[in-house]
Structure 1
Amino acid sequence: MIKVEGLTRAYGSFVAVDDVSFVCQPGRVTGFLGPNGAGKSTTMRVLVGLTPPTRGQATIGGLRYHDIPNPGRHVGVLLDASAQHGGRTGREVLALGARTMGLPAARVDEMLELVSLTRAEAKRRVKNYSLGMKQRLGIAHALLGDPQVLILDEPANGLDPAGIRWMRGLLKGFADNGGTVLLSSHLLHEVEQIADEMILIGRGRIVAQGDRATLLAGAHGPKLSLVTSLDNDRLADALRGKGYDVEAAGHGLRVHAATDEVGRTALERQVVLTDLRDGAAGLEDLFLELTAESQREASDTLPAPTREGTIA
């Protein structure tokens, strides 16, 4: 189990992580989500002992990372796939890790096979790897010691669609076998497909946490449905007759009512529906709303460009 309590990390007057607390449970994948610069990587660096906290603490299995004997056998870490020694081969990187952790040499071949790095690729120097291959090697190194906890920062970077699907299955299987996964990303769509729990962070502070249903239940807003039918005019008249606002939307209607009420009205008037969905704010909308102050594109106070096209 990962436990973060009142964690703060300041650099002078700049507070990168501000009173952050959360728990990651065994058997679950926890997504750690936020825009670039929101404090995700700093939190993870504190977790694995690379950055000391200003206040608070972060523990894994009740211990600080530095206090865990032979930590690679208990915690698998991937914070930067490009930080591996470029002059070594992929096999050498894993062999050194295995030797350091006291693992049999056969473990190296098991991990290379697990992450689908071929014999020829394993003999190539890491500096000649693509980013996707470096990610696979980094995941192999994180899993080398057969840990119970995985801490991964942006592991999908550089992976192609097949690689991303492979990684999802790998991490889900790890959690299903009782492992604890903390997965950091700024890509909500990717994490949403695998995470059991999500923690949203913006400007160094936790702005929301919970599973998808809990997060969406906490998003207050009017009920809205998007519907298409074989007789939109008849359905619109029926809905307006019940006092609902109805607007045209593409080939269908936007109705200010819950989907069950729209469906019930269609059934009463015997109008065949071809599409009916919740049109209220989804998880992406909630994410952008809660982290708006951290979104670079959301800023409307940027200085004007100069004649040369640079920021003044």
Structure 2
Amino acid sequence: MITVERLTRRYGDFLAVDDVSFTCQPGRVTGFLGPNGAGKTTTMRVVVGLTPATSGRATIGGHAYRDIPNPGRHVGVLLDASAQHAGRTGREVLTLGARTMGLPDRRVDEMLDLVSLTPVESRRRVRHYSLGMRQRLGIAHALIGDPSVLILDEPANGLDPAGIRWMRGLLQGFAEQGGTVLLSSHLLHEVEIIADDMILIGHGRIVAHGDKESLLASAGSAACLVSSSDNEWLAEALTRAGLAVTPQWGALRVAAEPVEVGRVALAAAVALTELRPADGGFEDLFLELTSDTQRDPAATGVAS
């Protein structure tokens, strides 16, 4: 478990993290989301002891990171995939990590295989790695100690679609085995898919915290698109059930979760041809909650 209690980090007059508190539970992936400069990376650096807190504290399993013996065996960390010795090979990077943690060299081959770095690639200097390859190497290094906690900052940067899907499965499997994952990312859609809980931060302060469903429900943003063999009859059934229905592009937009719409359709004996969350639901919620921290205003068109 990761516990952050009233954490503040100040740089002179600049307040990077302002009285932040949250927990990350075992068996769950927690997404840490916010605009650039919101305080995500600073918070994560404090959690792993790279940046001292001005006040408050952060613990992992009840201990400050600096007090955990051989911390790599308990906490896997990837904060910057490019912060690796460019002159070493990928295999050398992992071998040094394994030996520092007192692990057998066979663990290196296991991790290279896990992240799909080939023997030829593992003997290549890191300076010749693509960003995606560096991410894979960084994830391998984070996992080499078989930790119970993972703290990852933008781990999908540079990965292609297949690599992102691979990472998604890897982290979900880690959590299913009881691991704790704190994941920061700008890929909102990916976090929406993988995260069990979400923390939204802006200007160094937590603006929302909870699972996706509860966040959407609390903001009144839950919505889905549905089509059926008889949209007119379905719309009547949904309206009778007290749900707001709006025709949209040959389908119906309903202010409810898909499971609720499915129940109404089943009771009305209507065959559905499409049922999915409405595009932009969580993205709209994220932008709304962090609107005063966004660098760019909402686009309204292209200037001529």
Q: Do both proteins adopt the same fold according to a TM-score greater than 0.5, normalized to the shorter chain?
A: yes
Shift of 1:128: 0.1
Which amino acid is 2:284 matched to?
D
Quick one: distance in 2 between partners of 1:56 and 1:99?
34
SS of the residue corresponding to residue 297 of structure 1 reads coil
Map 1:73-92 onto structure 2 (within 5 A).
73-92=73-92
Q: Is the 8 A contact 1:33 1:187 kept in 2?
A: no
Map 1:224-235 onto structure 2 (within 5 A).
226=225, 228=227
Shift of 1:255: 6.6
Is 1:28 equivalent to 2:28 in the alignment? Answer: yes
- Aligned match of 1:147: 147
- Aligned match of 1:295: 294
Is 1:168 equivalent to 2:168 in the alignment? Answer: yes
Larger radius of gyration: 1
- Aligned match of 1:307: none
Sequence identity (%): 71
- Aligned match of 1:304: none
Map 1:5-16 onto structure 2 (within 5 A).
5-16=5-16
- Aligned match of 2:102: 102
Which amino acid is 2:212 matched to?
R
- Aligned match of 1:67: 67
User: Moved runs in structure 1, 4+ residues, more than 4 A?
Assistant: 223-248, 253-268, 270-281
Quick one: distance in 2 between partners of 1:210 and 1:8?
21
- Aligned match of 2:248: 249
Shift of 1:296: 1.8
- Aligned match of 1:186: 186
Quick one: distance in 2 between partners of 1:91 and 1:163?
20
Quick one: distance in 1 between partners of 2:121 and 2:241?
66
Q: Is the 8 A contact 2:20 2:206 kept in 1?
A: yes
Which amino acid is 1:30 matched to?
T
Comparing 276-285 with 180-189, which one deviates more in the overlay? 276-285
RMSD: 3.1
- Aligned match of 1:41: 41
Q: Is the 8 A contact 1:2 1:61 kept in 2?
A: yes
Shift of 1:224: 6.5
- Aligned match of 2:302: none
Which runs of 5 or more residues in structure 1 are unaligned? Answer: 301-312
Map 1:251-270 onto structure 2 (within 5 A).
251-253=250-252
Residues 202 and 104 of structure 1, relative CA distance in 2, 3 Å threshold = same
Quick one: distance in 2 between partners of 1:137 and 1:199?
27
Residues 14 and 253 of structure 1, relative CA distance in 2, 3 Å threshold = same
CA offsets 1:256-284 (integer angstroms, 9 cap, x no match): 7998689969987x987644666697222
- Aligned match of 1:282: 281
Quick one: distance in 2 between partners of 1:43 and 1:17?
7
Q: Is the 8 A contact 2:237 2:264 kept in 1?
A: no
Shift of 1:285: 1.6
Q: Is the 8 A contact 2:31 2:195 kept in 1?
A: yes
Instruction: Report the TM-score, using the length of structure 2 for normalisation.
Output: 0.85
Which amino acid is 1:250 matched to?
W
Which amino acid is 1:284 matched to?
E
- Aligned match of 1:54: 54
Quick one: distance in 2 between partners of 1:246 and 1:74?
50
Quick one: distance in 2 between partners of 1:262 and 1:117?
43
Comparing 132-141 with 287-296, which one deviates more in the overlay? 287-296
- Aligned match of 1:121: 121
Q: Is the 8 A contact 2:265 2:271 kept in 1?
A: no
Quick one: distance in 2 between partners of 1:135 and 1:3?
26
Aligned length: 298
Which runs of 5 or more residues in structure 2 are unaligned? Answer: 300-304
Quick one: distance in 1 between partners of 2:242 and 2:68?
63
Quick one: distance in 1 between partners of 2:110 and 2:159?
21
SS of the residue corresponding to residue 207 of structure 1 reads strand
Shift of 1:252: 3.8
Shift of 1:25: 1.3
Q: Is the 8 A contact 1:293 1:299 kept in 2?
A: no
Quick one: distance in 2 between partners of 1:243 and 1:184?
38
Q: Is the 8 A contact 2:24 2:182 kept in 1?
A: yes
CA offsets 1:38-91 (integer angstroms, 9 cap, x no match): 111000000111111111001111111111111111111000000101000001
Q: Is the 8 A contact 2:265 2:272 kept in 1?
A: no
Quick one: distance in 2 between partners of 1:2 and 1:258?
30
Quick one: distance in 2 between partners of 1:240 and 1:170?
42
Which amino acid is 2:4 matched to?
V
CA offsets 1:77-118 (integer angstroms, 9 cap, x no match): 000000101000001111111121121111111111111111
